[in-house]
Amino acid sequence: MNLLDIRNLSIVLKSATNPILAVDRVSLTMKEGEVRGLVGESGSGKSLLAQAIIGVLDDKWQVDADRFHWRGKDLMRLSIDERKAIISKDVAMIFQEPMACLDPTMTIGKQLTEAVDGEQLSGYFWQKNRQRKETAMTLLHKVGIKQHKICLKKYPHQLNDALCQRVMIAMALAKRPILLIADEPTTAMESTNQGQIFRLLASLNQLKNMSILLISHDLENVTHWTNTITVMYSGQFVEAGTTKHIFEQPFHPYTRALVDSSPKSNRGLPAKSRLMALPGSIPILQHLPIGCRLGPRCPRAQQECVIAPKVTNYHGHQFSCHFSLKDSY
Amino acid sequence: MLIFTLRRLNLFIFTIFLLTLLSFSLSFLFPGDQLINISGQVNATPKQLIVLAEQYQTNNNIFQQYFAYISHLFHGDLGISMASQLSISTEIMSFLPATIELTLVALFIAMLFGIPIGFIAAINHRKATDNIILSISMIGYSIPVFWLGLLAILIFSIQLGWLPSAGQLSLLFEIEHVTGIQFIDILLSDSPYKWQAFQDASAHIFLPACVIALAPATIFVRLARTAMMDVLDSQYIRAAKAKGLSFKQIIYHHAIRNAMVHVIRDVGLQFANLVTIAMVTEVIFSWPGIGRWLIESIFQRDHTSIQGGLLVLSSFIFIVHIVIDFIYAALNPLARESRHGT
């Protein structure tokens, strides 16, 4: 059974004159215990998708989906409050810029104890406060912070980014989530700290069988840690499959370009020659091309591309392109 | 925290220094003889003038004159009033507490109503509540205070007769002057009609305090609204939502505290404005405060009183400023530390 099954999720930026379709019918499935990467350029709508899943988008955005199943339960049929209760119980999210995500006027200890779920505690109310503190301590140990006493008394600005992100992960773990959505958890971090955070996430995945949806703009970086990858471009679904397939045999021209543009594949290039990259940049929301949004930048684009291609499934490897690279391998 | 306190203290000393410099230079800038301006001795005989000149070292250079003036200030000697020939420091001590009382009550009322209303407006952003609050605050801000004061007296004192129109306390009550702050004096006194006096004093202060509070309250509404909207838009609120906290929890535990940090900072700035409004209101409500006294001194061309009153009133505003800075530091951990490079 799939943990999360989303089919054709669209997110519209509401506006009186012309509503903008920021995310256009994207599908996403996740199995239990899986680490899935969600990759795309900045502005490709991947953060929006994550925020729509967890339900923290404000009312400027309108979210529609053909199917939204969570562990076999159809969330579309439930009321907003019920949906929120289920999602906030089982799904946790960590964000980019962890320091900005912690309340600057409250100590780490207070914020962490606040995140502890009251239902997990046993005992009378006068015991609960101590239990909460103990839980907060063990949570910090779990994310590899040994000096819990010092850390609990600190304010967010007194810690560095990696520690803040660890605290964010500790908060996320407080609810014992089944799925953790990590929205670019290591941007603006040094590479040693990046490695620490990724290793921590990987160990949580292995030890606690926690599924992780890892959002990133860096395809190469993500490949070390993920089982499967979904690629998005400008709010549209591009390709999904196992990490190996995506990296070695991409079917979609966009994924091909992403893989080719990584420094690793450019290593054999002679000095002072042009690096492989797609021309142009991602379109802004106000001027989206019709049909396949990659069209204007795509090296294989033809007339049919003005009609958005349907998702094709080839041995579990999904892609949406009229002129895929499938036959070229 | 120690460094923070020392920095504020440092700032306080320097500001007071500049204020004394200003008031000292005023004695030269005002028309008339500098010695008479600074001492207030209008009816001094030539003999007394020689003694005064010796005291204020008018024959020496300007630095010595200034230090003589400063030493007079430190001895609590602000000179005597040109109009009444009474010591200015005793006059100020008898008038200042009433102003402190009135302005603090007004500030309290303004904050008590302004800030929560602003928060409510921000939470209901882009809804009818928000628009109504905003337009009412705009109207409140644009009403001139002298007109509002007269209108309030006309309606609540004369037509309805609910509240007294002038003074600090009804003449029926005999309260000993201890601290000068009426409420504390009443509580300290052993009069059998203590509570009646307390009620009467409350009734007296209510109308002027409300009149003063209106304009600052509307500013607080706007400040609180913007601050709250910024906070609600921030990342940590989104993270708190993702944590599964309810809207109430988010507002009470995270949003209000963070919004208050921004609002408190501006409260200090608004206080000077509030004191200015209070000075006008004191005249309208015949409140025995320093504002009315200062305005009267201006009319009487009482240069010595103007210098002294200016010095004391601005020191008071500055002290309130510093107190508010401390409250700000208590709320905001970021402000407590000495930041490098800023």
pLDDT tens string A130-163: 888 888 888 888 887 888 888 888 888 888 888 8
> Which of A93, A97, A103 has the CB atom closest to B258's CB atom?
A103
Site from B236, B256, B264 to mutate, A interface, most A CB atoms within 10 angstroms: B236
Q: Is the pLDDT of residue A173 over 70?
A: yes
CB B259 within 8 A of CB B119: yes
Q: Is the pLDDT of residue B338 over 60?
A: no
What residues of A are in contact with residue B254 (Cβ under 8 Å)? Answer: 103, 106
Q: How far apart are CA B198 and CA A37, in angstroms?
A: 70
Q: Is the pLDDT of residue B341 over 60?
A: no
Tokens at B296, concatenated: 């009267």
CATH number of the domain where residue A215 is located: 3.40.50.300
Reported as a pLDDT band with limits 50, 70 and 90, residue B332 is: confident
Q: Is residue A123 part of a domain?
A: no
Reported as a pLDDT band with limits 50, 70 and 90, residue B221 is: very high
Nearest CA distance, B240 vs chain A (angstrom): 8
What pLDDT, in 10s, does the model give residues B248-304? Answer: 888 888 888 888 888 888 888 888 889 888 988 888 888 888 888 888 888 888 888
Number of separate domains in chain A: 1
Mean pLDDT for the stretch of residues A190-203: 83
Name residue A324's beta-bridge partners: none
Rounded CA Rg of chain A: 21
Region label for A320, one of left (φ > 0), alpha (ψ between -120 and 50) or beta (otherwise)? beta
CB neighbourhood size of B48 (10 A):
12
Reported as a pLDDT band with limits 50, 70 and 90, residue B112 is: very high
**CATH-assigned architecture of domain B88-336:** Orthogonal Bundle (1.10)
Q: Is residue A119 part of a domain?
A: no
Predicted complex ipTM: 0.76
Q: How far apart are CA B331 and CA A200, in angstroms?
A: 34
Q: List the domain boundaries for chain B.
A: 2-74, 88-336
What residues of A are in contact with residue B332 (Cβ under 8 Å)? Answer: 104-105
Average pLDDT, chain B: 84
Measured at the CA of A25, the angle between CA A24 and CA A28, to 5 degrees, comes to 120
What residues of B are in contact with residue A92 (Cβ under 8 Å)? Answer: 242-243
Yes or no, beta carbons of B258 and A105 under 8 Å apart: yes
Q: What is the pLDDT of residue B342?
A: 39
Angle between helix axes B256-284 and B145-152 (nearest 10 degrees) is: 70
Percent of chain B with pLDDT over 90: 8
Q: Is residue A150 part of a domain?
A: no
Average pLDDT, chain A: 83
Q: Find the closest chain B residue to A86 by CA distance.
A: B244
Report the predicted TM-score, pTM, of the whole model to 2 decimal places.
Answer: 0.80
Largest CA distance in chain B: 83
Yes or no, beta carbons of B239 and A102 under 8 Å apart: yes
What pLDDT, in 10s, does the model give residues B223-253? Answer: 999 999 888 888 888 888 887 778 888 888 8
| Chain centre distance of CA A226 | 12
- The verdict on B239 touching A (C-beta cutoff 8 Å) is yes
Query: Does an H or E element contain A28, and which?
Result: strand A20-31
What pLDDT, in 10s, does the model give residues A44-55? Answer: 888 888 888 888
Mean pLDDT for the stretch of residues A177-182: 87
Mean pLDDT for the stretch of residues A213-236: 85
CB B186 within 8 A of CB B175: yes
Q: Is the pLDDT of residue B94 over 60?
A: yes
Tokens at A125, concatenated: 């109310």
Domain that holds residue A256: 2-105+155-267+275-328
What pLDDT, in 10s, does the model give residues B13-53? Answer: 898 889 888 888 888 888 877 777 777 777 778 887 888 77
Percent of chain A with pLDDT over 70: 98
What pLDDT, in 10s, does the model give residues A260-289? Answer: 887 777 777 777 877 777 888 888 888 888
Measured at the CA of B55, the angle between CA B50 and CA B56, to 5 degrees, comes to 100
Q: What is the pLDDT of residue B117?
A: 92
Q: Find the closest chain B residue to A157 by CA distance.
A: B334
- The verdict on A102 touching B (C-beta cutoff 8 Å) is yes
SS3 state at B1: coil
Reported as a pLDDT band with limits 50, 70 and 90, residue B339 is: low
Q: Is residue A67 part of a domain?
A: yes
- The verdict on A115 touching B (C-beta cutoff 8 Å) is yes
What pLDDT, in 10s, does the model give residues B113-134? Answer: 999 999 999 888 888 888 999 8
Q: Is residue A117 part of a domain?
A: no
